[in-house]
Amino acid sequence: MSEIVNSADQTIIKPGEDVVASMAEAFKGELLSAVNSSQGTLVIDLEGVSMVDSVGIGVIIAVYNSLSQVNRQLKVINVEQDIHGLFSTMRLNRRFTVEAAQ
């Protein structure tokens, strides 16, 4: 179960575990629920996440597509170096903000 923090201009979701096939369906449900029940930017905080597989990337892209249809932004923050490299290789950082972990 993800940690969700709502504020006036953004909603932050922290999965707290690797974003992989085994949890992707539940995570997608949480993300889409957050999209529908909030306004402003949706932030996925990947602190503590060391792996995102192809299914996990698919979930993030699906959420990005849902947000872009209603002119909202997606931001992915605290991204580990390996995952950041993957997002860059796929050029996802051109579609939404991807911030490396400090």
CATH code of the domain in which 74 resides:
3.30.750.24
pLDDT at res. 62: 96
Q: Which contacts of 81-86 are long-range, i.e. CB under 8 A and separated by 24 or more positions?
A: 82/50, 83/46, 83/49, 83/50, 83/51, 83/52, 86/52, 86/57
- The pTM score is 0.95
**Digit-coded pLDDT (tens) for 1-42:** 899 999 889 999 999 999 999 999 999 999 999 999 999 999
Q: How many separate domains does the chain show?
A: 1
Reduced DSSP (H G I as helix, E B as strand, rest coil) percent helix, strand, coil of the chain, to 5: 45, 25, 30
The whole domain housing 7 covers 3-100
DSSP assignment, residue 19?
B
Q: Sorting pLDDT into bands at 50, 70 and 90, what band is 102?
A: confident
What confidence tens digit (pLDDT) does each residue in 45-67 have? 999 999 999 999 999 999 999 99
3-state SS class at 61: helix
